[in-house]
Structure 1
Amino acid sequence: MNISNPSTNSSLSTQLDWMFSYFNGICFDKADCLWKLKDALFMVGEIGGSDYYYALFQGKSIEEAKSLVPQVVMAIKDAVQRVIGYGASRVVVPGSFPIGCFPVYLARFKTNHPSAYDESRCLKGLNGLAAYHNILLRRVIGELREENRDVIILYGDYYNAFASMYRGGPNLGFDMVRAQKACCGMGGGDYNFDPNRRCGAPGVAVCPHPTKAMSWDGIQMTQRAYFVMTNWLIRDLWPKLNCNASLIGN
């Protein structure tokens, strides 16, 4: 499809190689690694966001981006299998965020067609891409569970963690007028996001109350938003992890 990633040449496989090289440096042998990792929780993801981002921002349609999803999901499956092969017994595989709610996408694909937006003013087509990714990912997680019955493999529902935060925004202390605006950004308007003057560039200001904002720079969320999402995810995942109570203090 002729898509380039200008930010890195380090593939998912290469990044896993780095992690395994580190393990080889702290483990005497395979048995030692199994013992050291027996209580570890592996977060494998979120993966795929950059693939879809660069496809869409290099002029590919949503349907063309969707054609990448099966390949991305299979790469995730392979990554999880490699991690399990190294001794992981608890793995969380996060899904995609609802990217149609993020300022970087809202600003780039802004349209005058009301039907393109949902009730939250998020772009339906982009959220459909994220939802499709998550459907295929959950299917693959089911396959992984069948193939690795002694390993706990869970889906990290970033999509609904974000949606829950967005719905409950006012009660959580967020300024919903700024919910789709970058806190650290330029450009004003609906999204306060200018791709040519991003957070960190000279003269780019930070909003007065970051704890009331959801989006930090149009791409990443604020610490407060991540805190709220993390609490949602912990409540969802903790009962399924079968962790020994003694591990809580460790």
Structure 2
Amino acid sequence: MSSMGWSFQAYLMNLILVSVIIIPLVLGCYNSIIGFGDSITDTGNLYNSDPNRSLNFFHPPYGETYFHHPTGRCSDGRLVIDFIAEFLGLPLVPPYLESLIISNQSVQNFEAGVNFAVAGATALDAAFLEEMGDSVSCTNDSLSIQLEWFKQMLPSLCNTSSDCNKVLSTSLILMGEIGGNDYNDALLAGKSIEKVQAYVPLVIETIASTINELIELGAATLLVPGNFPIGCLPAYLTTYESSDKNQYDPSTGCLNWLNKFSGYHNDQLQLALSRIRRLHPQVAIIYADYYNAMLQLYQSPDQFGFIGETSKACCGGGGPYNYNTSALCGDAGASACENPAQFISWDGLHSTEAAYRWITKAILQGNYTVPRVSTLCDSPV
């Protein structure tokens, strides 16, 4: 590694250590959760905006473990946002478009939380990505559109700026994960890692500007997740399968170069969050280390009950990693494993409910946040 690489790592660790020392964080309880992001967080926005329910993850066996029917969540059951809500003693966070489009209910139903995340969403606007030659597969509802939905809804929850500050100051803002699809859509289509890496500063700037705008509106606590170790995902292991054993981490079976890319995104995100903390020292901005929280499951799968093959998806249409773009989970020709709780990956791109439960526990009760979350209501995950 070059001296510049070591210097950057030292600088980053310095910032992280300073954050831990200067901002000893004790989180209280919250009245609501406000979510943004993509399929990692979407509790049904894309599902409720698609009248034909045509996408594969709108069909069984999605949702089979907890809800016993598809809800639009890209898993067999609950997501991280669901487990956080349960941990805080709040109802599961409803998708914004469910009431707006389907039920036409009052926004008062959102007093305990609202979720703007949309499966397939990108941080960057779809028009920009299309100009760069990347197709956006599921939705055009990027992070900027989700923020506009939030701003349009906010006056219905509070009449004055002081009221809005009170609403937002007692809400936990879950900012993502977002940005993964900006990279997924390009990388899974075969775009070079060098070209995709050029998106990282743009993605980070979009996330940072959204956070700054939410702070101006009154947000006081934001939980900002990084990207997952994408080199461990069956979709990537299938797309970039190699006979070169040196490309794989022998302890996990994950592709090193893809995980290195995820790490680069996460490093840049943490630097951006450090800059925002300096501008807004009164705001709790917490980095959630989804990368290492998930990586521990691959490093010690038996410890967490994952006795299925960690490199394989539970639900899929066959192949070495049970991921097949011709027969995705939910499509005819695909089938699910008997016990999803034994698998980390649900469908090749998304995790099982069991994995999301462990990731949530690591975030809320472990060492996987910066600054460290010491308490978040006295309730078990």
TM-score by length of 2: 0.62
Rounded to whole Å, the distance in 2 between the matches of 1:99 and 1:110 is 13
> For residue 145 of structure 1, what is the aligned residue in structure 2?
277
> For residue 88 of structure 1, what is the aligned residue in structure 2?
219
Which gives a bigger RCO, structure 1 or 2 (Cα 8 Å, sep 6+)? 2
Q: Are residue 216 (structure 1) and residue 355 (structure 2) matched?
A: no
Q: Are residue 196 (structure 1) and residue 360 (structure 2) matched?
A: no
Indicate how the Cα distance of structure 1 residues 123 and 241 shifts in structure 2: closer, same or farther if over 3 A, else same: closer
| Identity %, equivalent residues | 38
Rounded to whole Å, the distance in 2 between the matches of 1:125 and 1:6 is 24
Q: Are residue 66 (structure 1) and residue 197 (structure 2) matched?
A: yes
Rounded to whole Å, the distance in 1 between the matches of 2:152 and 2:209 is 18
Q: Structure 2 residue aligned with 1:170, among 293, 302, 306?
A: 302
SS in 2 for 1:178: coil
Q: Are residue 113 (structure 1) and residue 260 (structure 2) matched?
A: no
Rounded to whole Å, the distance in 1 between the matches of 2:188 and 2:298 is 25
Q: Structure 2 residue aligned with 1:128, among 242, 253, 260?
A: 260
Give the partner amino acid of 2:245: P
Rounded to whole Å, the distance in 2 between the matches of 1:226 and 1:38 is 27
SS in 2 for 1:8: coil
Greater helix share, 1 or 2?
1
**Structure 1 residue 6, shift from structure 2 partner:** 2.5
Contact 2:171 2:221 in 1 (8 A): yes
Rounded to whole Å, the distance in 2 between the matches of 1:238 and 1:146 is 14
**Structure 1 residue 203, shift from structure 2 partner:** 3.2
Indicate how the Cα distance of structure 1 residues 131 and 240 shifts in structure 2: closer, same or farther if over 3 A, else same: closer
Rounded to whole Å, the distance in 1 between the matches of 2:168 and 2:178 is 22
Contact 2:288 2:370 in 1 (8 A): no
> For residue 161 of structure 1, what is the aligned residue in structure 2?
293
> For residue 13 of structure 1, what is the aligned residue in structure 2?
144
Contact 2:286 2:371 in 1 (8 A): no
Contact 2:232 2:253 in 1 (8 A): yes
> For residue 314 of structure 2, what is the aligned residue in structure 1?
183
> For residue 358 of structure 2, what is the aligned residue in structure 1?
228
Rounded to whole Å, the distance in 2 between the matches of 1:239 and 1:145 is 11
**Structure 1 residue 238, shift from structure 2 partner:** 10
Range moving further from structure 2, 91-100 or 29-38? 29-38
Give the partner amino acid of 2:188: F
> RMSD of aligned C-alpha atoms?
2.0
SS in 1 for 2:286: strand
TM-score by length of 1: 0.92
Give the partner amino acid of 1:63: E
**Structure 1 residue 94, shift from structure 2 partner:** 0.6
In structure 1, list runs of 5 or more residues that go unmatched.
Answer: none
CA offset digits 1:171-220 (Å, max 9, x no partner): 21111x5111111111142x111011101112321101111111100011
Give the partner amino acid of 1:122: C
